[in-house]
Amino acid sequence: MRNALGSVDTVLLLGGRSEIGLAIVERLVRRGARRVVLAARGGTAPADGLERLGAEVHVLDFDAARPETHAALIEEAAAKVGDLDVVIPAFGVLGRQAVYDADPVAAARDVAVNFGGHVSVGLAAARRLREQGHGTLVVLSSVAGVRVRKANFVYGSAKAGLDGFAQGLADALHGSGARVVVVRPGFVIGRMTRGMTPAPMSVTAAEVADAVVAALDTRKGTVWVPARLRLAFAVMRLLPRPIWRRLPR
């Protein structure tokens, strides 16, 4: 439950080593969150910085590729800190299209994480939030899924599926007291994209985190980062496919 000042009190981060996820959690702790669960593969995550800021931090083992464990993980997190105010699934694999072209099994495996893993934790989290009667699920989508490009169509198609799932889940939760915030960043400069050429209107993990925290203070359901990407993709959606195919990789 939010504290007496209306600030988020408890946070669950699924993907406890994610740059974006940790940036969001750090901001929430600075704003008053005091109980945090970091769920990461192997049960290791950088908790020290959050603890120095005054947070009580629990670290749990989490494997995005094992959906049969996700519901129990959500309940274990709630047992540690009580009602979950904010749940942030922040895991995923940014593979290369050339690798997927050569190895369809790798493509299927990564899609199972990037889409299937989010479906599993999303439904489990939504059930918990619905039972509580409050809480927010933050879904980190991407502009890559708004209109899928040939340069990364396996990754983009998983994000397109995730975006649609998140919108449907938001509708399903309407009236329950719980809600979904869908976040659509552009190219994010960070560890995951190291060595890649930044796209126009690129952002940092810090900028995404600032946008998410701002959205938590409003009833906004969809967040574009940066905001001007919304207009850009309104135009891109209308481009004829022959032109879309010729866009630079």
Backbone angles phi, psi at 80, to 5 degrees: -75, -40
**H-state helical runs in the chain:** 19-30, 48-52, 70-81, 97-102, 104-111, 118-132, 153-173, 205-216, 229-236, 241-245
Q: What is the DSSP string of 106-175?
A: HHHHHHIIIIIIHHHHHHHHHHHHHHHT-EEEEEE--GGGTS--GGGHHHHHHHHHHHHHHHHHHHHHTT
Token pair for residue 208? Answer: 């995404």
100 annotated active-site: no
Which residue do the tokens 């004829």 mark?
Answer: 240
Catalytic member of 155, 163, 213, 224: 155
C-alpha to C-alpha distance for 10 and 134, rounded to whole angstroms: 12
Token pair for residue 21? Answer: 């996820």
Token pair for residue 95? Answer: 């593979």
Catalytic residue annotation: 155
